[in-house]
Amino acid sequence: MRAGFTVITGASSGIGAALAEQLAREGHRLALIGRNGERLASVAAACRAAGADCTPHVVDIRDRTVLQDVLASIEAEGPIDLFISNAGILDGRRQGQAVEDGDAAHRVLDTNLLSSIAAVHMVLPGMRERRRGRLLLIASLAAFAPLPDAPAYSAAKAGLLSYGVALREALRDEGIRVCVACPGYVTSGMSAQHLGHRPGEIPAAAAAVRILKALERDRAISGFPFPLYWSSRLSLLVPAAIRRLGMRGLRFHVGG
């Protein structure tokens, strides 16, 4: 039997890079997808140094024709056993704006939600034929507590969460497991664009360990840090005035 692949999108930095390096240490055969070729090559080199068979692929996941070709080439070499949909961008209200502009909203929704779902459906046929496989979708606590300074980001993550939970039930009898991770603030190049308070922020490597532990336990939804996770989940159940008061200290704008 051919050795299977773990495929990670958005692997050139942040959580994606940390997941790649952790899985490399665990002996996974990796195919890494990212937009930044230089950073992606560096992550791939670190994975190889940890003993992993690792191949980088420079792709913008919004280019679905190229992405389909890349994923098909990976499947031709070996089955995709684990697909981690991590690629995403942060955009929202810029300094001096009351709300994000339409172009930013479209870009975020296309990258974080529509292209992520398209990628899942590129790997699903092989998994369904084999009746085995795992899908890990990286959402955010913003899926539960929408951020007024990043409405499209919040909507995309909420959509990805709902999609993943629904897909888990749809595929439960086909041997395919689906997990959705909802991390809070994680130190990364993307989070550096978030100009505001980031309570409970943790390093990307620590986030990767928590996410993979939840994956191994086959949790439908995982979120952290614990206090922020549960306060986020409960936020839409409280009166708007209380929710607004609680979110006041989390206002931000996007830089870069």
Q: Phi and psi at residue 29, in whole multiples of 5°?
A: -90, 120
- Most distant CA pair in the chain: distance in Å? 58
- The 8 Å CB, 24+ separation contacts for 54-58 are 54/20, 54/24, 54/29, 54/30, 55/30, 55/31, 56/11, 56/32, 57/31, 57/32, 57/33, 58/34
Task: Identify which of 16, 70, 69, 74 has the alpha carbon closest to the alpha carbon of residue 42.
Answer: 16
CB contact set of 240 (below 8 Å; sequence gap of 6+): none
Query: Inter-axis angle of helices 115-130 and 64-77, to 10 degrees?
Result: 30
Active-site residue, from 153, 163, 185, 229: 153
Task: Identify which of 25, 136, 131 has the alpha carbon closest to the alpha carbon of residue 83.
Answer: 136
Active site (annotated) includes residue 163? no
AA identity, residue 51:
G
End-to-end CA separation in angstroms for the chain: 47
For the annotated catalytic residues, the residue numbers are: 153
